Amino acid sequence: MIWHHIEKGHGRPLILLHGIGMNSEAWAPVMERLAIQRRVIAFDIPGFGKTPGIEGREPNSAAMVDSLAQSLDMMGINEPVDMVGNSLGGRIMLDAAAEGLARSVVGISPAGLWRETGPSHLEPLFGAMRKAYKVAPGLTDQLLKTTLGRTVIMAGAVSARGWKMPAKDAIRSAQMFAESHYFEPIFEAFRPPFVRGEEITVPCTVAFGDLDMVFPIGTRDKSRLPAHTRWVRLPACGHVPMWDDPELLSHVILRGTH
């Protein structure tokens, strides 16, 4: 199975992996900028968007990496590739690098850098967001059509500058986040921390937004990653910074995968 994807540009492949409850559309604000220099391939991770969930296996990082490797092979991409991952996608990207699939990696608020089972606030935060939309989808959609509504609703787990998101993108993101049938099993499967940092030998860049409320500073154990990792601040950006500052994020990605 080839994961569903959107593709732009030409040149050396650049793989983009989104966060939990989202899909490849999350990368829309940076696709055009990146495609000026690269063949950009933004995937829907299994269980989200248009890619079916992985059947017969726990949907953990090992299963995701195996499935990603299969997709790349079926697309004729056999050499190690540059990878970028946000949140859940960042964790998958790190394991892919440990498996030798990556030429370089850029993690945007990657999951798994915690010490035990992840931040304790995530389950109630995500649960409340999903329940709120299911209970009142019409009201939520109406609020997301307003600048103030997008700013307030997206501030917790998505964008620090929600007013920059087009209303249709905000509504689509909220719908997908709430309605995914694979959200809970994937959330559970990715509780364990990333433990393979010593196996990553390729260039590694990790960036966190200053206003990331999903993985705040106390949840980022730098010892989980190789000593050569380059750490980058994203001023005034949230957990999903593609809408917050697409110009800065594109620069970080292109530099980290040069």
pLDDT by residue (tens digit) across 44-58?
999 999 999 998 899
Mean pLDDT of the chain: 95
Q: Are the beta carbons of 89 and 64 closer than 8 angstroms?
A: no
Rounded-to-integer distance, Cα 243 and Cα 232, Å: 18
51, two tokens: 């890619």
Tokens 């049938």, residue located: 181
Query: What is the model's pLDDT at position 221?
Result: 95
13-17, 89-93, 205-209, 216-220: which range is least confident on average? 216-220
Residue 133: inside a domain: no
Cα separation, 232 vs 102, in Å, equals: 20
Given a cut of 80, whether residue 214 has pLDDT beyond it is yes
Please tell me the predicted confidence (pLDDT) of residue 118: 86
Residue 61 is predicted with a pLDDT of 96
Is 165 within 8 Å of 159 (Cβ atoms)? yes
Q: How many angstroms separate the CA atoms of 171 and 141, rounded?
A: 6
Task: Indicate the SS3 state at residue 232.
Answer: strand
CB 8 within 8 A of CB 31: yes
Question: Please, which pLDDT band fits residue 116 given cuts at 50, 70 and 90?
Answer: confident
Share above pLDDT 90 across residues of the chain, in percent, rounded to a whole number: 92
Residue pair 38/11 in contact by the 8 Å Cβ criterion: yes
The tokens describing 72, both together, are 């790349």
Q: Classify residue 159: in a domain, yes or no.
A: no
Cα separation, 2 vs 256, in Å, equals: 26
Specify if 60 maps to a domain.
Answer: yes
Compute φ and ψ for 10, nearest 5 degrees.
-140, 165
Reported as a pLDDT band with limits 50, 70 and 90, residue 174 is very high
Any idea what DSSP says for residue 53?
P
Buried b (16+ CB within 10 A) or exposed e, 131-164: eebeeeeeebbebbeeeebbbebbbbbbbbbbeb
Residue 24 lies in a domain: yes
Asked, for residue 155, whether it belongs to a domain, the answer is no
pLDDT at residue 114, as a whole number = 95
Question: Is 250 strand, coil or helix?
Answer: helix
pLDDT in tens, 138-153: 999 999 999 999 999 9
**How many independent structural domains does the chain possess?**
1
**Is residue 156's pLDDT more than 80?**
no
Residue 131 lies in a domain: no
Domain enclosing residue 223, as ranges: 5-119+190-256
Tell me if the pTM is above 0.85: yes
67 part of a folded domain: yes
Query: Residue 189 is encoded by which pair of tokens?
Result: 């499967």
- Rounded-to-integer distance, Cα 122 and Cα 169, Å: 23
Residue 161, in any domain of the structure: no
- Reported as a single tens digit per residue, the pLDDT across 73-85 is 999 999 999 999 9
Q: How many CB atoms lie within 10 A of CB 15?
A: 28
The CATH number of the domain where 32 resides is what?
3.40.50.1820
Farthest-apart Cα atoms in the chain, separation: 48
Q: 157: pLDDT confidence band, cut at 50, 70 and 90?
A: confident
- 240 within 8 A of 207, measured Cβ to Cβ: no
